[in-house]
Amino acid sequence: MDVAKRIRELRLLLQEHAHRYYVLDDPLISDGEYDLLFHELVRLEEQHPELITPDSPSQHLGAIPLDKFAQVVHRLPMLSLENAFNTDDLHAFEDRLLRFLNQDIAPVSLSYMAEPKIDGLAVELIYEQGKLLQGSTRGDGSKGEDITAQLKTISSIPHKLQDHATPRLEVRGEVFMDREALTLLNHERLQGGEPLFANPRNAAAGSLRQLDPAITARRPLKFLAYGIADPAQTPCSSQQELLVWMGNLGLPVSELARICPSITDVITRFDELAALRHQLDYEIDGMVVKVDDFELQQRLGNKARAPRWAIACKFPAIQATTRLISVAFQVGRTGAVTPVAILEPVEVGGVTVSRATLHNRDEFERKDLRVGDTVLVQRAGDVIPEVVKAIVEKRDGSEQPVAMPIHCPVCGHALLKVVGEAVTRCVNPHCPAQRLRSLIHFSSKAGLDIDGLGKKSMEQLFNLQLVRDIPDIFVLTHEQLASLEGWGDKSADKVIAAIEAARHPVLGRFLGALGIRFVGEVTAALLEQTFESLGQLMHASLATLLEIEGIGEQAAGSIIDYFSDPDVRVMFDRLQQAGVTPEAGQRSQADLPLSGQVILFTGTLTTLSRTEAKKLVKDHGGQIATTVTHNMTHLVAGEKAESKLKKAKELGKIILTEQEFHEMIHHEPRTTPQQAVVK
């Protein structure tokens, strides 16, 4: 084997998969497959240290933070952990510790703290004088993304610590999602034709990486603290003491952490957690073992990307083999045609699996799957079944390649795959499958949350032709519903009441419920912040939409196409006749600090994203300008502000720095034009 060539291949593979995992939250392989590739790279580099380079994935962790968030530099790096996969690896871990501590000269007695390894997203919380100041992701270990506003929406994260005397405290922990919550969220995304979260970690990351904290707030996230960046800031001498101390501050910590006096006790605890994992409300994918004594941790120190004094014991992947019987093709609300593997039923981790997603054509072509194959099936993140690979050694020649259909399996319309996109679509807007999925999304929790109109109820109404498009929902009668099989007066009353409550939805939620392509929760929220009514949005030009920070050409073009569709216009006329009137979020403008002010941002902002800044203006009673005009009252100038700043000065407008903008919002004395001019 050409070792240097294999090392280069592994580095490229790991860099690509790390980017998809840490940055895009869209992994292509399971954690187990990634760990095997990484373990192979580490083994080869240990055998050939002359081939190690600083840019190798073995020498750093994570991936660069997304540029849509401000970056936060961690005062002390947030390191990763080396992995142990079996008992031998744990004994080898202890042997390395004893050699490093020179056991032969000065014998030491090691005890360990064993904690569940939660499948979530690592974050850092900074408290000053006991108050939550900032929160960030791990990112590349040295710097992460500033997600303070998003983290503050998580109820288990205290905004103020109890009895806290330390001036500054850097808390590390994990944000995660319960098993039931993730299942419900994925069900809603499936009904809405959105990609599913592959595992709890991706669900947590995807929820925290929302520009609008209101979207994060609607996701049921939780937090557990597991450490302090610098334990010397605390009165504790061990990890065991630290967990108790953090709990007394009001920080949630794991109740499953256990002290283990020996490595044998560590192995026993690992077996206990492996047996317990399926009874927990949340997912754990292993156990973290730490040397308990902080003085010994200090002596052991860190390697390039991981501490010497800790290791992650990974549970074996939950996998099984079965036969691929056929591949079905489902049509989502956006027309996306998703291949689904139909399997011989097999038990995987206590759950019978008979179907597994294949995501798209590229996926099954990459894995070279064929009908009749013996395949390896895995419950990715213990949640979504996936086909890991075909076991080609078991092929006998009777297997048949999987072919993507060229016509929609529901309506027969020709399918389209746009160059550069992975998804194949049915572009017939009248496709029954798309219409049904759109209706299900509209009434689901991700849409207007019309209680009683879930998936089964909507399918029943659609098949009976009582509801064929959105306006039909709002003309349903009690008599129609009460007479249906499985219904009755009580169920009918409940649904009619929910429909009445949905006649005046908030504009942003209504737009998200419509299922306009490229208009998800974030874009819908941006549109609500910009337009005061649905009518105003319907008549907006492409140029106006493109001026909105956060809305690109795809979304803007899709919005224009949607509202230009004659059928859509007819639908809105029918909705209006049925008394459906979306409303902008109502809030009193009186006495708000920016009431009557028209503000334009230019240059590079350092403390806020452009979207956050505009939202602050709207929330505090002001209006947003997109260019320098006579109506504009203030210009907030960031770094490298040029032409707009010059023109605003010529018109005598008030020029503010970012700091002065913050002071203006917080009711501090407004600056005069002379005081505010940026030099």
> Catalytic amino acids?
117
Separation between Cα atoms, residue 201 and residue 245, nearest integer Å: 27
Asked if 141 and 306 touch (Cβ cutoff 8 Å), the reply is no
DSSP assignment of 92-157 equals HHHHHHHHHTTTTTS-----EEEEEEESSEEEEEEEETTEEEEEEE-TTSSEEEB-HHHHTT-TTS
Tracing tokens 């992947």 back to the chain, one arrives at: 317
Residue 465 has phi, psi (to 5 degrees) of 65, 25
What single-letter DSSP state applies at residue 620? T
Tracing tokens 């994260």 back to the chain, one arrives at: 157
Separation between Cα atoms, residue 671 and residue 95, nearest integer Å: 66
Contacts of 672 (CB under 8 A, 6+ apart): 654
Tracing tokens 């004994």 back to the chain, one arrives at: 91
Cα torsion at 405, 408, 412, 413 (round to 10°)? -110
Separation between Cα atoms, residue 54 and residue 59, nearest integer Å: 6
- Cα within 13 Å of Cα(467), Cβ side: 27
Q: 3-state secondary structure string, 405-440? A: CCECCCCCCEEEECCCCCCEEECCCCCHHHHHHHHH
Separation between Cα atoms, residue 145 and residue 139, nearest integer Å: 7
Which long-range contacts link 206-209 to residues 24+ away (Cβ below 8 Å)? Answer: 206/25, 207/150, 207/177, 208/121, 208/123, 208/137, 208/147, 208/150, 208/151, 208/175, 209/25, 209/66, 209/69, 209/145, 209/147, 209/150
- Alpha-carbon torsion (525, 526, 527, 532), positive or negative: positive
DSSP assignment of 487-517 equals --HHHHHHHHHHHHHTSS-BHHHHHHHHT-T
Nearest to 166 by CA among 223, 126, 226: 126
For residue 72, count other CB atoms closer than 10 A to its CB: 20
Cα torsion at 526, 531, 537, 542 (round to 10°)? -60
The token pair that represents 483 in the structure block: 């007479």
